[in-house]
Amino acid sequence: MYSAKLAFAIPLLLVVIDTAFHRPKFTLYSTVLLAPLFMFYAVAVPRRPRKIVQPDRFQEFALLEKIKINHNVAIYRFALPHQTDILGIPSGQHVSVMATIDGNDVVRSYTPISTDDNHGYFDLLVKSYPQGKVSTFIARLEVGQTIRFRGPKGHMIYKKGIARAIGMIAGGTGITPMLSIIRAVLKNASDRTEISLIYANVKENDILLRDKLDDLATKHSKIFKVHYVLSDPDEGWKGSSGFVTGNMIKMWLPRPAKDIKILLCGPPPMMTAMAQLTNELGYGKSRYPSKPDDVVFTF
């Protein structure tokens, strides 16, 4: 991006310098004539998107906006250096977030809910817990304050053809890597991978990004389905109640086969139970860390 602009600017600058040395009285004229050409190129010619995040070093990004979802969940929008920049995180991967707390550097992983179709910023969905050091640090950030990021990280990179069908089981903020992959599939008209999602929470107002999920399920009903499960529903709840069971998995997710994948992400106790259930149902064992070729992959 910058090399292209330099390749255009340097010859113009050399013309001005040459004129100044050999025909000084024409220097002003050459500058006046050539300056508009450079300004047109610099302003009118769009910059190509530049991937910003780096895997080997942390960079600081400033909080641009905080969008409250409920009492302990918000979307945090961070600014990239230029409005055409992209974060550069492949679908299925995450970033490491570092905060200095009580003199110690603490690192946690988060999957952006924005994509590289979003230029100039990226979004994190964060649920802050009283005991969560980094999530609490992020929740206390004021607009303009910074925090450090590094990436991409993770063993999963979604690519078309990775499976005929994908079954997902998510709990709480475990929805974020699932949404990343769901969007990657659905934005590609030639990708017909079928996706079935079981999304578990405690209460109905704990269901994160529900509007986005329901909208995608409506627009892409032939290949994307979502089923909600609440462990403590209020009266009138029409989805499933209790915890995710083997029968729910049989009903909503693809049957065991060599050309399918099961993706798991959520609180550790839930993931332990889901790994045991999927193994008992014949999908195979989940290992940690999971590898891209595993049938059952745990984020």
- Annotated catalytic residues are 94, 110-111, 265
Which tokens sit at 173?
Answer: 């903020």
Asked whether the beta carbons of 170 and 178 are under 8 A apart, the reply is: yes
Asked whether the beta carbons of 160 and 65 are under 8 A apart, the reply is: no
CA distances 278 to 169, 203, 228, 245, 295, Å, are 10, 24, 18, 10, 10
Cα separation, 177 vs 92, in Å, equals: 5
Cα separation, 179 vs 164, in Å, equals: 18
Cα separation, 76 vs 108, in Å, equals: 15
Which tokens sit at 47?
Answer: 């910059």
163 by DSSP, 3-state: which?
Answer: coil
- Which contiguous run of DSSP H or E holds residue 167? strand 165-171
Cα separation, 4 vs 177, in Å, equals: 35
Question: Rg of the chain over CA atoms, in angstroms?
Answer: 24
Q: Is the dihedral of CA 179, 240, 249, 271 positive or negative?
A: positive
Q: What angle do CA 247, 249, 251 make, to 5 degrees?
A: 70
Asked whether the beta carbons of 223 and 189 are under 8 A apart, the reply is: no
- Which contiguous run of DSSP H or E holds residue 182? helix 175-186
Asked whether the beta carbons of 228 and 201 are under 8 A apart, the reply is: yes
